[in-house]
Amino acid sequence: MLNALAILGAFIWFGVFFQPFKAWRYRENLDSDPADDNTDLSCVTVLTPARNEEAEIGTTLSALRAQGTGFQSILVDDQSTDRTQAEARAALPSVKIIAGTALPDGWAGKLWALEQGRKHVTTPLILLMDADIRLEPGILKTLVKHLQKNELSFVSLMAFLRMQNFWEKLLIPAYIYFFKLLYPFALGNNPRFKKFAVAAGGCILIEREVLEKLGGFDALHDALIDDCTLAKKVKAAGYKTWMGTTHSVTSHRAYNNLKEIWNLVARFAFTYLRYNWILLAICTGLLFSAYWAIPLALIFGDLSPQWTNFLWMGYALLFICYYPTVRFYRLNPLWTFLHPLAGTLYMAMTWSSAFRYAKGQRSEWKGRTYDQNLVATEASEEKKSA
C-alpha cells in the first residue's frame, strides 16, 4: 500500500511539472515602470475599504503620493472604532472619506464598503486596494498602461506579502504556490476559458463601466471569496481579465506567529473545496502521497531499481517546482526543503476550517461575524459556477 501511494505521489509531481499551464513558474509578472511624479492619472479613482486599520492605512495612503497626479482617492471607513480616519487624513489630505453605514443582511463587510464607495466614483477606472497594500512608485501608471495596451477590463496583482519572521517565510510563499496551482494564472488569463478566472483582492484595476454593467458589488454581495468571484463575473460577461505576480505591490500586514496565519487560513480554507468532505478526504490522501509516502517508501519500501529511480525523480520534482516561488520572493534557497512541512500545516488548517464549519462556527473578521446562511450561499454559487 505504501509503495502504491508513493508511486501515486511521484506521478503527482510529474503531473505538476509537465502540466501545460506551468502554474509553478513565474511568467505572468508585472512590475513598475520608472517613477514619474508628473504622470497624469486623472482616469483613476483609488477605492479603499478600511475597518480598524489605524496601524496600516497611513503607509498605504502615503505611498499614493509617488504615483502621479490627478487621481482621486476614496476611503470607506467601515464603522471603525479606532483612529483610521485621522491617520488617513494625515497621510493623504486629499482623500475623500465616506462613513460606512451598518452592514445589511446577506452582505460581506468588505463588499458593502466597496459598494458604498463605488457610488461616488466618476472616473473610467477604479483601483480596488486593501488597507494594508503599499504601491511602489510607478506601478499605478504601469497597471493603467497594461490594461489599455492589452484591451483588458480587469487587471489584478498578487501582492508581495510580508515574509520576515520564521512562520511568514515558511507559510506565505507556500500559500501563493498553492493558490497558483489551484488557479493557474495562464488559464485564467486565457479568454477562451470563460468559466475560469482568477484574482487577488488586494489590488484590482477594473473599468467602472464594466462594474456598473454587472450591477456593482451587489452582484456578488454575499461572496466570501470576493476577488475570484468578481473576476469570474467579469470574464463570463465577455470581458478580458489578467492576473499576475509583482514585486511592486506589497502588503505590510504582519503575521507574527503560527496562530495568526492559522486563523486567517482556517476562516475560509474549506470554502475553496466547496464545503465538500469527499474532496477534503481526497486532497488529504493526495497530500500524503505527494509529500510523505515517497520518502517513507524510499526508506522502508521494497521496490525494484526502476521504481526507486522513478520515486527519486518525483521527489526531486517536488522541490524543483517549489524553488521558483522561493527565488521569486528572494528567500534563502534552503526554505525550498521545508515545503513538505508547510504543505502539511496547510492541510491541517483546512481540516480545522472543515471542523469549524461542521460545528456551525461563524466566519469572523475584524470583529464582524458571518452566519452559516451566507456561507451556504457561497457554496451554492461556487457549485453553480463550476
Q: Tens of pLDDT along 179-224? A: 999 899 999 999 999 889 999 999 999 999 999 999 999 999 877 6
Q: How far is CA 289 from CA 11, 81, 282, 336, in A?
A: 10, 48, 11, 19
- The whole-number pLDDT of residue 15 equals 96
- The whole-number pLDDT of residue 378 equals 41
State the chain's mean pLDDT as an integer: 91
pTM passes above 0.95: no
Cα(273)–Cα(343) distance, rounded to whole angstroms?
16
Cα(145)–Cα(252) distance, rounded to whole angstroms?
25
Assess whether pLDDT exceeds 70 at residue 10: yes
**The three three-digit cell numbers of residue 122, written as one number:** 466618476
Per the model's pLDDT, the better-predicted residue between 195 and 374 turns out to be 195
CB atoms within 10 A of CB 242: 24
Cα(369)–Cα(286) distance, rounded to whole angstroms?
33
| Structural domains of the chain, with CATH | 2-23+260-385 (no CATH), 44-255 (3.90.550.10)
Cα(50)–Cα(251) distance, rounded to whole angstroms?
14
DSSP symbol at 361: P
- The whole-number pLDDT of residue 251 equals 96
Over residues 145-151, mean pLDDT: 97
Strand partners for 241: 154
Give pLDDT tens digits for 151-164. Answer: 999 999 999 999 99
- The whole-number pLDDT of residue 365 equals 56
